[in-house]
A and B are shown apart, each in its own frame.
Chain A
Amino acid sequence: MQAFSNRPLGELVRFENVGLRYGVGAETLTDVSFAIEPQSFQFLTGASGTGKTTLLRLIMQALKPTRGMIALFGQDTAQLNKEGLTALRRRMGIVFQDFRLLDHLTTYENVALPLKVQGREEATYRAEVTELLSWVGLGALMHAKPAVLSGGEKQRASIARALVAQPELLLADEPTGNVDPSLARRLLRLFVEMNRSGTAILIATHDLSLMDQIEGARRLVLADRRLEVEVNHD
């Protein structure tokens, strides 16, 4: 994988006093403020139900905040139209907790999807996708469909799909939640390598041992509807 060049400087994500309320109940998230810098590595953590997935969905613009300001890649998302939103999403890679692979497509087709939807001809990305699949250890399964993949293989396919368009920001929701500790370590190394090649990483997890493996990674801790930023100096 090649390192990225000509990266725009500035924050990839900025939340300012963001609050989110579902319906008329109490706020799920209150006064959340933080930023994600280019090429940074951070964990989003907190107990179950504290709003990790909700926060990720706010970043990926699946949810709109009730109040506050969210800027992505320097653009206020409140001002975004559909075309602008699509352009921003193309700069992000997303690893879903439940993989969200398309069951009727092969592993190769799933991983190539972000490039295909951008209108690229298959001939221009075939080698790239094949190389990435080999890199995540799925080279022999590129023609297999998700139904025959194990949980770990699905997770790796999902990660490969998130990485294939060389995003500037990778959002991963519990990427090691469905795999054994050994595979979790391997997947984490994958993220570290991606980060070294220039992608900012945000991993939502409640696995403390996983977070302890990355020195200097920031921890965005959600508790009692609020977010605190900690730095692991180990």
Chain B
Amino acid sequence: MTDRSDQHRPSLFAFLWSIPLFKRDPLVAADKVTDRALVSVVAIMTFLAALTLGAAQFAAGTAAHWQVMMASEVTVQIKPQGSRSIEADIVKATDILRGTSGVTSVKVFSRDESAKLLEPWLGPASSIESLPIPRLIAVRLDTAAPPDLAALGKTIAETVPGATLDDHRSWTKRLGRISDLFLIASLSALVLVLAATGLAIVFATRGAMAGNREIIEVLHFIGADDHYIAGQFQSHFAILGVRGGLIGGAAAIVVLITIHLTGRLSAGLLEGASLSELAFPGLQIVGATMVVVALVGLIAGIASRMTVHRTIGRLA
């Protein structure tokens, strides 16, 4: 008769079996095809949701980095004014800037450098020699103790006619708005992906309960109450959801960290960022992905619970 009995499981397998995430719930007949399909769908959804969140996080971080960079630098533009010597005006402006507390460095762009900047619009520097090209002074600020830019701009404008100070505020605001819009779009996509995950679990739970109708009937006849039966199905599908979430989350972490470390996303965007700023991208990515996995687990639990309670009432 031994050939008709189940063999004893090896101890490692028995140990894994005792862990809730690996444990098959005995009262719900496992449909391997359906269960695997559900785990795959949830894993894919979690992967997409984590990628979306990772992209949003990356965009927000990059925008914030740019904003800091832009806020730490201002530009003084000096336009040629008739017979006035522009070189003398530059000297006056740089003297004022160097004498201002909170200014860490001043870099004057030469006429050739300025012409080079205009080259994409006006052509080679040699052909615009006769044009009155404005001159630029790049000013780096101490972000911890920046100068009063309004007062500085006023002083420069009064001392050097035709000189203006651009603090990039309008660009910073636009960048902030774009970053916010991207964040909203990403979070909307995240919500939709999570909603789709919930729907997948609802349909899988409903299908499984319809398929297990006879088991539910037998359980009722032998004295199981709705709460007990619901608990069996609920935990079965919640565990599948969490399992899919963990698989998708792990894959997303690997991909996000790989993308980040290989610099495919950051190439060109974070130019100028110091190594320390790029050194530990993993912790944030892992944290955000774990939030997604936790959300997927929560949604799996809620979706299966709601579906089970609704369906069981109809089947009873």
Contacts and interface: CB of A to CB of B under 8 A. Distances in A.
Interface of A: 60, 62, 82-83, 86, 89-90, 94, 100, 102-106, 109, 113-114, 116-119, 140-145, 148, 161, 165
B7 to A, nearest CB: 9
Contacts of A62: 217, 221
Nearest to B3: A148
A104 B236 CA distance: 15
Contacts of B219: 113, 117
Given A100-B218, A103-B29, A104-B29, A117 B223 contact: yes
Nearest to A107: B5
B225 A102 contact: no
Among A105, A114, A117, A165: residue with most chain B CB under 10 A: A117
The 4 lowest CB-CB distance pairs between A and B, nearest first, are: A117-B224, A90-B223, A143-B5, A86-B225
B4 interface: yes
Given A117-B228, A143-B6, A94 B222 contact: yes
B118 to A, nearest CB: 77
Interface residues of B, number: 22
Nearest to A165: B223
A226 to B, nearest CB: 27
Contacts of A144: 1, 4-6
B298 interface: no
B71 to A, nearest CB: 64
B30 interface: yes
Main secondary structure of the interface of A (DSSP, over half): loop
Interface string B199-231: 000000000000000110111111111101000
Contact of B5 (A60, A116, A141): A141
A82 B214 contact: no
Nearest to A119: B228
Contacts of A103: 29
Contacts of A60: 221
A60 B217 CA distance: 12
A166 to B, nearest CB: 12
Contacts of B215: 102
Given A100-B221, A103-B29, A144-B6, 13 more contacts: A82-B226, A86-B223, A89-B221, A100-B214, A100-B218, A102-B218, A104-B26, A113-B27, A114-B223, A119-B228, A140-B1, A140-B5, A141-B5
Contacts of A165: 222-223
A90 B214 CA distance: 18
Interface string B216-251: 011111111110100000000000000000000000
25 contacts: A62-B217, A82-B225, A83-B225, A86-B223, A89-B221, A90-B223, A100-B218, A102-B29, A104-B29, A105-B26, A109-B26, A113-B219, A116-B27, A117-B222, A117-B225, A117-B228, A140-B5, A141-B1, A141-B4, A142-B5, A144-B1, A144-B5, A148-B4, A161-B222, A165-B223
Nearest to A90: B223
A144 B2 CA distance: 9
Contacts of A83: 225
Among A89, A100, A102, A161: residue with most chain B CB under 10 A: A102
